[in-house]
Structure 1
Amino acid sequence: MFVSEFHPSFTNRPGDDDVLWRYMDLARFLSLLEDEAIYFARADQMSDRWEGSSSQANVELRPQLYGEFFEDMNRQYVGMRESGLRSTHINCWHESPVESAAMWDIYQREGRGVAVKTTWANLMASIGSDRSIFGGRVNYVDYRTTFIPEGNFFDRFMHKRLSFSHEREVRLIMMTGRSMPHPTEENTAIPLGPEPPVIPIPVDLKRLIQAVHVAPDAPDWVSDLIQKVCRRYGHVFSVLHSDLASDPIA
């Protein structure tokens, strides 16, 4: 379920009607239809090597923040990042009222992709898992000068470097990890290690998908094929060829 209550790490959330996009190749779209699930990738699988990292400002301010406890805290932070990368799973969306030419170029090639269009409210409402899922806008900051809050570990994963600001990313995020109940201690779990690199989370596709946009460089027959495939799975989605394929005005 999506956790909509206030959380200090997720104060920057889209409005209910703000538009989100998920760009993907055709294989991933077929997987979405077949599994009726969106996929959360473990943070240590993400391409940005700075995922879950502190900033330089954090490093410089910690001696003042922690005083006599600084040495102990500093040792803990090294292990905390590695542990956090293995116990955090993320699902990413692009926020924009219109399609993004850059996102098409990044996530598909040769007309073999689609973009699923939804809204923040529909995304939240579509989630059908018992897991606690949080979400909001990623904050793009200068890691040389910006202090990233350390009161909650989620904050590390809701900040990225300014170089990634073109992504306009909205993240869904959940804490993960395998465990078993302690045999003798009540309300205590024994950790068993990380969960798989990718975790499917069930969604209601009829709530999630507002429209399916086909890549601008795809031939016309691809739109017809996507429409037929959707119907075969019992869905009548609006399938549109990308606006970027329209002819220029003389």
Structure 2
Amino acid sequence: MAHFELRHLSQADLKLHVWRYLTFPKYVSMMIYSALWFPKLKTLLSMDADEGAMPVVAAKEMTEQFLQWDIIKNNPGFTEQITNSSSRNVEDGRELTLANCWFCSEEESPAMWRDYAGIPEGVSVVSTIDLLSQYVYCDPRVSLLGRVQYVDLNSHVMSHYEANQAGERAFLKGNSFAAEREIRMTTMSFRGPMCVNLDGTDMRSDQYSGLGMNNFDSPGLYIKADLRKLITRTVLAPGSPVFLEHLVRRIGHLAGVVSPVERSSLETGVQK
């Protein structure tokens, strides 16, 4: 069963491999919780100040359109609200939208090891886009899986409907990030039966019923995944010490993940 609507992906793309580059503590947390961490978009602003931004053209067009409405012309007090509506939309979207990000490639990336996992004690888990769609248990009613589009946010043309949707904007990033070749899963920041508590227990119905579903007090959510089926192999960072190799194998065994653990193909003497 697929748990996501697809964005910017064809059926053929589902076979492509994706890599999740992790520091060792993040790898351990994923394996212990049997879940993926989905941070809010606003927590990603330190890496990309335009995360979740509305393209300039669409924001300008919508503001100009709204200012032509008679109800606005006849009530000058509304002008400021309309002028600021796009920025409020973006701010709310960054609070309410969660994302989990993967690198799409058939081979390892030295840059991704350096920027996201660390050498020599990083770890990367490998999967496919199709497996992400099936074995990460987001709420299918509010979740998207797609390829990030790298654009000029100052000139990119987007429909007004899409520009108003934070989930759609989450698949836009500036051209300077194109080397990341990102595949992204997004969902809403609502607690539910697919979530795992920070103590590792399943979230109870009384924790997410009614107003409890709102996740205002946490920077993200752990969302369940079947790692046994999701992870096709695990790769160690170039130059990883032997003890880390044994430790990662042991952690995988305890988590029920029996897929291969491999040393980096970037190491001298390792078969690519």
TM-score, L = length of structure 2: 0.77
Deviation at 1:219, TM superposition (A): 2.4
Match of 1:219 among 241, 246, 250: 241
Deviation at 1:159, TM superposition (A): 0.3
Q: Deviations along 1:94-126, whole A, 9 cap, x unmatched?
A: 111111110001123341111100001111111
Partner in structure 2 of residue 27 of structure 1: 25
Cα distance in 1 between the residues matched to 2:118 and 2:185: 26
How many residues align structurally? 239
Question: In the alignment, residue 50 of structure 1 is paired with which amino acid?
Answer: D
Q: Deviations along 1:192-217, whole A, 9 cap, x unmatched?
A: 67352120000001111000000012
Cα distance in 2 between the residues matched to 1:202 and 1:192: 18
User: What does 1:1-250 align with in structure 2 at a 5 Å threshold?
Assistant: 2-5=2-5, 10-12=7-9, 15-46=13-44, 47=46, 48-62=48-62, 65-66=65-66, 68-69=68-69, 71=79, 73-130=82-139, 132-152=142-162, 153=165, 154-177=167-190, 194=216, 196-247=218-269
Other structure's SS at 1:32 match: helix
Cα distance, 1:191–1:222 mapped onto 2, change above 3 Å: closer
Question: In the alignment, residue 124 of structure 2 is paired with which amino acid?
Answer: A
Cα distance in 1 between the residues matched to 2:261 and 2:270: 22
| Structure with more of its chain in strand, by fraction | 1
Q: Is the 1:123–1:207 Cα contact (8 Å) retained in structure 2?
A: no
Q: Is the 1:148–1:155 Cα contact (8 Å) retained in structure 2?
A: no
Other structure's SS at 1:225 match: helix
Deviation at 1:130, TM superposition (A): 4.2
Cα distance, 1:161–1:248 mapped onto 2, change above 3 Å: same
Q: Is the 2:3–2:136 Cα contact (8 Å) retained in structure 1?
A: no
Q: Is the 1:2–1:133 Cα contact (8 Å) retained in structure 2?
A: no
Pairwise CA RMSD of aligned residues? 2.8
Question: In the alignment, residue 211 of structure 1 is paired with which amino acid?
Answer: R
Q: Is the 2:147–2:184 Cα contact (8 Å) retained in structure 1?
A: yes
TM-score, L = length of structure 1: 0.84
Question: In the alignment, residue 49 of structure 1 is paired with which amino acid?
Answer: A
Question: In the alignment, residue 154 of structure 2 is paired with which amino acid?
Answer: R
Other structure's SS at 1:237 match: coil
Deviation at 1:180, TM superposition (A): 7.0
Which sections of structure 1, spanning at least 5 residues, go unmatched? Answer: 182-188
Q: Deviations along 1:216-248, whole A, 9 cap, x unmatched?
A: 121234223311221233332200001001349
Cα distance in 2 between the residues matched to 1:210 and 1:23: 14
Cα distance in 1 between the residues matched to 2:9 and 2:65: 25
Which sections of structure 2, spanning at least 5 residues, go unmatched? Answer: 73-78, 192-207
Partner in structure 1 of residue 195 of structure 2: none
Cα distance in 2 between the residues matched to 1:81 and 1:246: 46
Percent identity, aligned pairs only, is: 26
Query: 111-120 or 147-156, which moves further after superposition?
Result: 147-156
